Amino acid sequence: MDRALTWSPPYRAISPRPAIQKVFNFHPPKAKIGSIKPIDVHVSGGATLWFMGSIDPSELWSVILHTINGHESASKLQLFSSFISPPSFSVRIALNLKGVDYECKPVYLFKGEQFQPEYLKINPMGYVPAIVDGDIILADSSAIMWYLDEKYPQHPLLPSDFKKKAINYQASHVVSSSLQPILRVPILMYIKEHVGHEQQISWIHKHLEKCFTALEELLKDHAGKYATGDELFLADVFLAPYVIGYPEKYNFDMTEFPLLSRLGEEYLKIEAIQGAIPEKQIDFDRSFYYMDVSN
Amino acid sequence: MDRALTWSPPYRAISPRPAIQKVFNFHPPKAKIGSIKPIDVHVSGGATLWFMGSIDPSELWSVILHTINGHESASKLQLFSSFISPPSFSVRIALNLKGVDYECKPVYLFKGEQFQPEYLKINPMGYVPAIVDGDIILADSSAIMWYLDEKYPQHPLLPSDFKKKAINYQASHVVSSSLQPILRVPILMYIKEHVGHEQQISWIHKHLEKCFTALEELLKDHAGKYATGDELFLADVFLAPYVIGYPEKYNFDMTEFPLLSRLGEEYLKIEAIQGAIPEKQIDFDRSFYYMDVSN
């Protein structure tokens, strides 16, 4: 893994190990990199280590790893999430794609843990997902995606092409702003309680149909192997939780959505996505998984 | 206006006129800028103009303006919006802050214009706002904000400070992903029709209270004159439509939200926001404005 350490010009190294963010401030410049001094090493969690004197760059990484031993595990990114939450699923995919090692902190929504004072300090909305990464505490899947992409640049979630970037923003927000909030469990429970069980199912189907129809139209001229080409980007990360397992859970017919159906199949071939599915999470509970649709 | 042209080092000019985005690729470098050749001028709408030969930089702008005469008006940004839509309000604020001259194309939601095939080509979701800017067609307020900030860098919507940026992302998404979708007119009409008029009011109050409580908590350590300091940023742009006029419309008591109340007052002092309020839009219609809450 140490060999995967990449040097980008000049005077900067990005580690493949997520706990170590950046090595920078090399003096003197690249040409004399063998005589680095000092080196400022930033570790997630806020620690700064200084190395004085001459270090061979080929030895640098093992010196750093040795020095921060112990600190690393304490500063691992924490993901507060639930197996039942699609945006938690999206954030897990992003973390996996980026190879960020994280600690899962399940929030048991059906026990009301999201409304406990300790959790409200992390996210005053009482929603999952939220992350704690060093001194950053952040909630909302879109905000977290931005953070992850800025902090962990490996496997960018946005393409460099301007139009492709725009379509990724739009498609991901169709999911995060127009579908996901309407299909939150408390909203579904409200509809079931105040309107009825059948109307709850129609509510789910109506909103899935509206958003899926728009997404098919939006992506039809952009899709390749994945939503906006042959690489996985933000649109895929947000879409995946709704085309994997979700239609089956709510008995939603995907016949009219051939592109989304195909994407769902492609996504399941990807290790970063396989590892993020609800069934593989430590808090997965089949009886709760279907609770919001049971009569 | 031509005199307001700003040159940022090196070899780049940003125009105060929104239709003209960037002037770049100056050769040879700054020291010899009097003998520019060629210059690549990008104009919103996709036109690229080339100037060969020597041009004095002091004359450059008038040459460009002269050359693109006629093209400019055809390529003015079009905003498809409704006076009743809070995210349209947010986008108008952003456009005003950035000084982007735009053409308002009202979409009459109560006449169902958002479901007409011509509009669905612009936004397959049938929601406002959407923009057409040259060859970019984009919907969803968050996606539009990203686009505007990238395309029109004047008055950045995000601070450069990392933590302040994070709080702006989170707070703006509390509004755009957790409040706005739940309070869309079709959702409110559904609740009124299927549950009742009083429950519709409780629904609005419950969600306003939840989000406003979270926003007060989230912003309390960051606010200055505005939501995250003494400059207007993304959090303000999304928040403004919900603290100006909105509580009054829905008879929502703001006593418990002193920070948000104060922000609402501050926002109304700002010209870019004053010009964006629903009452000042060409499609404003008082009878429709209150339709969704009338018994």
Q: Does residue B226 share a domain with residue B239?
A: yes
Q: Is residue A144 part of a domain?
A: yes
> What CATH number does the domain containing B127 carry?
3.40.30.10
- In this structure, what token pair is assigned to residue B172? 């703006």
User: How far apart are the CA of A208 and the nearest CA of chain B, in angstroms?
Assistant: 12
Q: Does residue A119 share a domain with residue A190?
A: no
Which pLDDT belongs to residue A60?
55
Q: Which of A154, A176, A205 is the last residue of a domain?
A: A154
Which pLDDT belongs to residue A14?
41
pLDDT band at A288 (very low <50, low <70, confident <90, very high): confident
Mean predicted confidence (pLDDT) in A262-266: 98
Q: Does residue B87 share a domain with residue B55?
A: no
- Give the burial class of B287: count Cβ atoms within 10 A of its Cβ; 0-12 exposed, 13-18 middle, 19 or more buried: exposed
How would you label A143-164 residue by residue, b for 16+ Cβ within 10 Å and e otherwise? bbbbbbbebbeebebbbeeeeb
**Of A3-17, A217-231, A263-277, B216-230, minimum mean pLDDT range:** A3-17
Q: Does residue A191 share a domain with residue A119?
A: no
Q: Does residue B111 share a domain with residue B38?
A: no
Count of alpha carbons within 13 angstroms of residue B203, beta-carbon side: 27
How far is A36 from A27, CA to CA, in rounded Å?
5
Cβ of A176 and B177 within 8 Å?
yes
Q: Is residue B94 part of a domain?
A: yes
**B210 neighbourhood in chain A, CB within 8 Å:** 125-126
Residue among B140, B204, B139 nearest B172 (CA): B140
How far is B79 from B145, CA to CA, in rounded Å?
13
Mean predicted confidence (pLDDT) in A138-148: 97
How far is A146 from B235, CA to CA, in rounded Å?
15
Q: Does residue A59 share a domain with residue A94?
A: no
Under a CB-based contact definition with an 8 Å cutoff, are residues B7 and B13 in contact?
A: yes
Tally of domains in chain B: 3
**A150 neighbourhood in chain B, CB within 8 Å:** 162
Q: Is residue A291 part of a domain?
A: no
For B237-250, the pLDDT digits (tens) are 999 999 999 999 99
Nearest neighbour of A124 by CB, restricted to B135, B181, B214: B214
Cβ of A169 and B146 within 8 Å?
yes
Nearest neighbour of A213 by CB, restricted to B124, B135, B199: B124
For B35-80, the pLDDT digits (tens) are 334 444 444 333 334 443 445 554 555 445 444 444 444 579 999 9
Lookup result for tokens 């800028």: B33
Which pLDDT belongs to residue A3?
31
**Angle formed at CA B130 by CA B173 and CA A159, multiple of 5 degrees:** 65
Which pLDDT belongs to residue B229?
98
User: How far apart are the CA of A110 and the nearest CA of chain B, in angstroms?
Assistant: 19
Q: Does residue A7 share a domain with residue A59?
A: yes
How far is A14 from A5, CA to CA, in rounded Å?
6
Q: Is residue A183 part of a domain?
A: yes
Q: Is residue B17 part of a domain?
A: yes
Nearest neighbour of A125 by CB, restricted to B139, B174, B194: B174
Range of the domain at A79: 74-154
The single-letter code of the amino acid at B187 is I
Q: Is residue B286 part of a domain?
A: no
User: How far apart are the CA of B139 and the nearest CA of chain A, in angstroms?
Assistant: 6
Under a CB-based contact definition with an 8 Å cutoff, are residues A140 and B170 in contact?
A: yes
> What CATH number does the domain containing A235 carry?
1.20.1050.10
Q: Does residue A67 share a domain with residue A80?
A: no
Q: Is residue A289 part of a domain?
A: no
How far is A16 from A2, CA to CA, in rounded Å?
8
How far is B200 from A182, CA to CA, in rounded Å?
16
Cβ of A169 and B143 within 8 Å?
yes
**CB atoms closer than 10 angstroms to residue A82:** 26
Residue of B nearest to A147 (CA): B166
pLDDT of A10 > 70? The answer is no
Q: How many contacts (CB atoms, under 8 Å) link A and B? A: 101
Q: Which range scores top for mean pLDDT: A42-51, A282-291, B86-95?
A: B86-95
* Helix or strand holding residue B194 (H, E): helix B185-194
Q: pTM for the whole thing?
A: 0.78
Q: Does residue B246 share a domain with residue B144?
A: no
Which pLDDT belongs to residue A169?
97
Q: Does residue A259 share a domain with residue A195?
A: yes
Q: Does residue B44 share a domain with residue B90?
A: no
Q: Does residue A275 share a domain with residue A193?
A: yes
pLDDT of A65 > 80? The answer is no
Q: Return the higher-pLDDT residue of A49 and A178.
A: A178
Evaluate whether ipTM surpasses 0.85.
no
- In this structure, what token pair is assigned to residue A159? 């393409």
Pick out chain B residues at pLDDT < 70: 1-74, 293, 295
Which pLDDT belongs to residue B61?
52
Q: Is residue A290 part of a domain?
A: no
Which of the 8 DSSP states describes residue B151?
Answer: H
Under a CB-based contact definition with an 8 Å cutoff, are residues A97 and A53 in contact?
A: no
How far is B221 from A17, CA to CA, in rounded Å?
32
pLDDT of A213 > 50? The answer is yes
Residue of B nearest to A187 (CA): B182
Which pLDDT belongs to residue A71?
46
User: How far apart are the CA of B217 and the nearest CA of chain A, in angstroms?
Assistant: 7
Q: Which of A22, A55, A71 is the last residue of a domain?
A: A71
Count of alpha carbons within 13 angstroms of residue A106, beta-carbon side: 14
Q: Which of B38, B54, B72 is the last residue of a domain?
A: B72
- In this structure, what token pair is assigned to residue B54? 């020597």
